[in-house]
Chain A
Amino acid sequence: EDQVTQSPEALRLQEGESSSLNCSYTVSGLRGLFWYRQDPGKGPEFLFTLYSAGEEKEKERLKATLTKKESFLHITAPKPEDSATYLCAVNTGNQFYFGTGTSLTVIP
């Protein structure tokens, strides 16, 4: 059964304290792994797509990496405005399977 698991469920960081969010997946025929950011009351906002193991993408304080079984979203020196829920999704063609997200809170 295709499955996407994110950990931790919630993460509280001090401003400037770097950390990583995990997305592990078991799917057949990965066509891409997607990271989204979701602010309260808003729809998910696209961050990155990764297609093959070893691939990395960066945007400001965020860096996403991909292996054959999991992806990490590394956040370096986070700021309070990085507080949000981060969703991971895998694509197997037509289908997108979402994880339950990691709720990140960055404390000033």
Chain B
Amino acid sequence: EAGVAQSPRYKIIEKRQSVAFWCNPISGHATLYWYQQILGQGPKLLIQFQNNGVVDDSQLPKDRFSAERLKGVDSTLKIQPAKLEDSAVYLCASRWAPGELFFGEGSRLTVL
């Protein structure tokens, strides 16, 4: 069974530039999550999708972050414009309720 795929693995940008991350969940997993993990901290939820609908985006900084999950399969997370404090690993996870989360390898963002 293929795991959660994420790309790119690494991205370096200047502040105020934009960046997009892509995630393809495990086939059949209806629930998809985007987490932000800052070095030395646990993952923090940004947004949760159930199929192509948003379940929880209460912690998403909507002035600069956006996410979509068209057709209820893969998802894109965008940051525009980026700030220095957005430097982190962006983790995508999927779940076939009520089980565990399956994580991708993550996309490491460095904002200079």
Contact assessment for B101 and A96 in the assembled complex, using a CB-CB cutoff below 8 Å: yes
CA distance A31 to B42 in the complex (A): 19
Chain A residues in 8 Å Cβ range of B40? 100
B87 smallest CB distance to A (angstroms): 15
A87 proximal to B (CB < 8 A): yes
Chain B residues in 8 Å Cβ range of A42? 105-106
B84 smallest CB distance to A (angstroms): 21
List CB contacts (< 8 Å) of B39-89 with chain A.
40-45, 48, 55-56
Contact assessment for A44 and B99 in the assembled complex, using a CB-CB cutoff below 8 Å: no
Q: Is the interface of A mostly helix, strand, loop or mixed?
A: strand
CA distance A95 to B55 in the complex (A): 10
Chain A residues in 8 Å Cβ range of B93? 43
Interface residues on chain A, size class: 20 to 34
Given contacts A87-B42, A94-B56, contact A49 B99 (CB under 8 A): yes
Q: Ordered nearest first, which 9 A-B pairs have the shortest CB separation?
A: A43-B103, A98-B42, A46-B100, A100-B42, A44-B103, A98-B43, A43-B106, A43-B105, A43-B104
List chain B positions with a Cβ less than 8 A from chain A: 4, 31, 33, 40-45, 48, 55-56, 91, 93, 98-106, 108
23 contacts between A and B (CB under 8 A): A6-B42, A31-B98, A32-B98, A36-B103, A41-B106, A41-B108, A42-B106, A43-B104, A43-B105, A43-B106, A44-B43, A45-B103, A46-B101, A89-B42, A94-B56, A95-B45, A98-B42, A98-B43, A98-B44, A99-B42, A100-B41, A101-B41, A101-B42
Apart from A44-B43, A45-B103, A100-B42, 19 more pairs, CB < 8 Å:
A34-B101, A41-B108, A43-B4, A43-B91, A43-B103, A43-B104, A43-B105, A43-B106, A89-B42, A89-B101, A94-B48, A94-B56, A96-B33, A98-B42, A98-B43, A98-B44, A99-B42, A100-B40, A100-B41
